[in-house]
Amino acid sequence: MHEHADMHKNMMEQAEQSKAENVGNKICPVSGEKIIEEFKATYEYKGKIYNFCCASCVEEFKKDPEKYIKKIEEEEKAALKEENKVTKPDSDTHKGHQH
């Protein structure tokens, strides 16, 4: 009977993990290094899966998750801002005609 309970618990944990959403960060929030797929470590926190360059960084993340989540969010905002700069048409290049 004990084995059945353990099996059920494992199935429930796997089901919970499948509901988690990977945030898709490509830069380790702890080290700032690019995440290489073959060495990547992941950690689920509050229904989201975060990516790390290695298991050591996961341990560091666990000490203060909110600090590193904020760092990920700030990096995403900066990347979006940079992306908008590139895709926004420069007003000088569009002189003489209107859109």
Report the domain count for the chain.
1
In a domain, 98, yes or no: no
Q: Convert the pLDDT of each residue in 10-29 to its tens digit.
A: 445 554 556 899 999 999 99
Cβ atoms within 10 A of the Cβ of 50, count?
25
C-alpha to C-alpha distance for 80 and 99, rounded to whole angstroms:
24
In a domain, 8, yes or no: no
The predicted model scores a pTM of 0.65
Q: Convert the pLDDT of each residue in 39-81 to its tens digit.
A: 999 999 999 999 999 999 999 999 999 999 999 999 888 888 8
Beta bridge partners of 41: 52
Q: Report the chain's C-alpha Rg in angstroms.
A: 20
C-alpha to C-alpha distance for 92 and 95, rounded to whole angstroms:
6
In a domain, 95, yes or no: no
The H-or-E segment that residue 79 falls in is helix 65-87
In a domain, 4, yes or no: no
In a domain, 25, yes or no: yes
Q: What is the mean pLDDT of residues 81-92?
A: 68
Please say whether the dihedral angle defined by the alpha carbons of residues 58, 43, 70 and 23, taken in this order, is positive or negative: positive
In a domain, 6, yes or no: no
The angle at the Cα of 61, spanning 58 to 64, to the nearest 5 degrees, equals 160
Domain region containing 63? 21-87
